[in-house]
Amino acid sequence: MNFLARITPSSITVVLIAILLTACFSQEDPPSTAPANVAVTEGSGLVVVDWDVIPGRTYWIFYNQGTNASLDDFDRVVSGISPPYVLTGLLNDTQYAFTVTSSKGSSKVGPFSPVETATPRLLSPSVAWTVGTPLSGNDLHSIAFSGSTYVTVGDAATVFAAQYYYPGVGGVDATGWRSATTLPVGLTANLNSVAYDGARFIALGNDGSIIKSTDAEALLWEAVTAIAGAPTMNVLAIGVGLYVAVGDTGAIYTSSDSATTWTARASGTASNLYGISYVNGTYVAVGASGTLLTSTDAVTWTTQASMTGSNLRGVTYGANTYVAVGDNGAIVSSADATTWAVQTGPTAESFRAVSFGPDEQFIAVGTSSVNAYSSTGADGSWLSSTTNAGSIDLNAIAPNLLYIAVGAAGANVSGK
């Protein structure tokens, strides 16, 4: 018998589950020992449960809010699993108790492991990030995530890819980060941006060159038609069937055919554009001296007053709020992408990127490995640290159940 992945008292009573576990399995003797070396590590809205495996056993986790979890007192159970097991859907700042047991063939369950407790929590300045071995001596400028694969790009045509695995070191599987095995012949451009379009990764070079991945692991890449006559290009964003690239001197180009044919658009500014995102149905581009542009179609652009003179580098949306970040700790926010206000930032370090993740908080990264956090994006809500993620400049961040940031000299750090 194999229960559903998660059972709650609303779907079946604790008494009935107890009967099933103790009475229905009777053809074999149960295990005589409890699973050993059970460890529970908390993350944001989740825990990772680990234990020693004995071949031939089926494992069960019983868990409950509070300090006790047993056959007689539990909220949920998962079965037919192997360690390390990522248990999601938990409440942050709430203590849970966990115990692991096992069955053998058609036997009833055996002894339970000692109860372990853990309290899921948001990533915050008090949580240490894992500092990975530098991937290269080249600066990394951008990182993108497909749902299973990460790709980061940087100077001198640097491309690395890794497979997502939450329990793994740095949030990737045991293979780790691998350099692209095939790139277009003669490609030497600094790759400033990478994005995922739902089928492939697309990377943008500073010289307007465009390359795309052609395999599931993003190790094979081929050239796409470059943006002809482009100035220095900085960032690529992907909207609904539309690719938008921005760069110096207010350059904006769009493509509706998978980044093959590009059309120049009038931005209305000569300022360098350093960041762009498609968020909440709106393209938002940011740049030098507080430049901030918005558009619903990437063709007609409107200049907005950002209320700051600082260079803005990154922009995102979450918690019903647009947030842009930049040099000298600049943070500006808006509820409608039209009226913007300056926030009181937590640091004088310069931000290079900002994201809003599935844990429903903003995280910004920048110089000296600064990382700043806010669940609302509201003025005065930001907290930051420059001591929990190394000391090197971070240029980009990818949100997921964990966060991975990349930066100068091949830097890569991960926060869970």
Do 402 and 278 sit in the same domain of this protein?
Answer: yes
Which amino acid, one-letter code, is at 376? T
Are residue 160 and residue 108 in the same domain, yes or no?
no
Q: Is the pLDDT of residue 68 over 90?
A: no
Distance CA 64, CA 60 (A): 13
Q: Are 268 and 147 part of one and the same domain?
A: yes
pLDDT at site 237: 98
- Confidence category of residue 7, pLDDT binned at 50, 70, 90: very low
- What b/e sequence results for 14-40 when a residue is b if at least 16 CB atoms lie within 10 Å of its CB, and e otherwise? beebeeebeeebeeeebbeebbeebeb
**What's the rounded mean pLDDT across residues 221-233?**
97
Please state, in angstroms and as integers, the Cα–Cα distance from residue 113 to each residue in 106, 116, 399, following that order: 20, 9, 34
Question: Residue 163: how many CB atoms within 10 A of its CB?
Answer: 18
Give burial (CB, 10 Å; 0-12/13-18/19+) of 220.
middle
Return the pLDDT at 184: 98
pLDDT band at 46 (very low <50, low <70, confident <90, very high): very high
* pLDDT tens-place string over residues 361-370: 999 999 999 9
Using a cut of 0.85, tell me whether the model's pTM lies above it. yes
The candidate with the shortest Cα–Cα distance to 161, out of 398, 402, 409, is: 398
Residue 4 lies in a domain: no
Identify the DSSP state of 164: B
Query: Is 295 in the same domain as 257?
Result: yes
Q: How confident is the model at residue 173 (pLDDT cuts 50, 70, 90)?
A: very high
The domain spanning residue 315 has which CATH number? 2.130.10.10
Looking at residue 84, its amino acid is P
Residue 2 lies in a domain: no
Tell me if 5 is assigned to some domain: no
Q: Which two tokens stand for residue 245?
A: 């690239």
Give the whole-angstrom CA distance, residue 399 versus residue 359.
Answer: 9
Per-residue pLDDT for 9 more than 50? no
Does 347 lie in the same domain as 215? yes
**Nearest one of 2, 7, 27, 5 to 71, comparing CA atoms:** 7
Query: What Å distances lie between residue 43 and 198, 330, 414, CA to CA?
Result: 27, 29, 12
- Cβ-Cβ contacts under 8 Å for 324 (sequence gap 6 or more): 275, 284, 286, 292, 306, 312, 314, 315, 331, 332, 333, 340, 354
Q: Per-residue pLDDT averaged across 88-94, rounded?
A: 96
Per-residue pLDDT band for 10 (boundaries 50, 70, 90) equals: very low
Does the residue 64 lie in any domain?
Answer: yes
DSSP designation for 21: I
Let me know the angle formed at the C-alpha of 114 by 109 and 116, rounded to the nearest 5 degrees: 115
Domain end among 98, 118, 138: 118
For residue 45, pLDDT beyond 90? yes
Q: Lowest mean pLDDT of 61-70, 323-332, 384-393, name the range.
A: 61-70
Domain-located, residue 211: yes
Interval 324-352: pLDDT, tens: 999 999 999 999 999 999 999 999 999 99
Summarised one tens digit per residue, pLDDT across range 243-285 is 999 999 999 999 999 999 999 999 999 999 999 999 999 999 9
List, in order, residues 6 or more apart from 113 with CB less than 8 Å away. Answer: 34, 35, 36, 38, 51, 99, 100, 101
Residue 71's pLDDT is: 55
Choosing from 118, 152, 170, the residue where a domain stops is 118
Domain that holds residue 297: 130-415
Residues 391 and 284 in one domain: yes
| 241 inside domain | yes
Which pLDDT score, from 0 to 100, does residue 25 have?
47
Q: Which residue has the tokens 């063709």?
A: 299
The predicted structure's pLDDT at residue 72:
63
Q: How confident is the model at residue 217 (pLDDT cuts 50, 70, 90)?
A: very high
Q: Which of 118, 148, 174 represents a domain boundary (last residue)?
A: 118
Mark whether 91 and 142 lie in a shared domain: no
State how far Cα 8 lies from the chain centre.
Answer: 29
**Element of type H or E holding 221:** strand 221-224
Pairing mode, strands 362-366 and 116-118:
unpaired
Are 353 and 403 part of one and the same domain?
A: yes
Q: Has residue 138 got a pLDDT over 70?
A: yes
Lowest mean pLDDT among 84-88, 106-110, 244-248: 106-110
Domain count, the chain: 2
Element (H, E) at 14: helix 14-19
Task: Looking at the structure, tell me whether residues 333 and 272 fall in a common domain.
Answer: yes
The average pLDDT across 94-102 equals 95
Type of residue at 119: T
User: Which of the four pLDDT bands, split at 50, 70 and 90, describes residue 26?
Assistant: low
112/135 same-domain check = no
- Confidence grade of residue 32 (pLDDT, cut at 50, 70, 90): very high
Decide if 9 is inside a domain.
Answer: no
**284 within domain boundaries:** yes
d(CA 13, CA 165): 34
Q: Residue 392 phi/psi, 5° resolution? A: -100, 160
Q: Are residues 252 and 105 in the same domain?
A: no
Check which CATH number belongs to the domain holding 45 and give it: 2.60.40.10
| Same-domain pairing of 275 and 350 | yes
Q: Which percentage of the chain shows pLDDT scores above 70?
A: 92
Measure the CA–CA gap between 284 and 314, rounded to whole angstroms. 9
Look at residue 177 and tell me whether its pLDDT is greater than 60.
yes
For 203-206, which contacts have Cβ atoms below 8 Å and span 24 or more sequence positions?
203/142, 203/151, 203/153, 203/159, 203/236, 204/233, 204/234, 204/235, 204/236, 204/245, 205/157, 205/233, 206/232, 206/233, 206/234
pLDDT at 95: 95
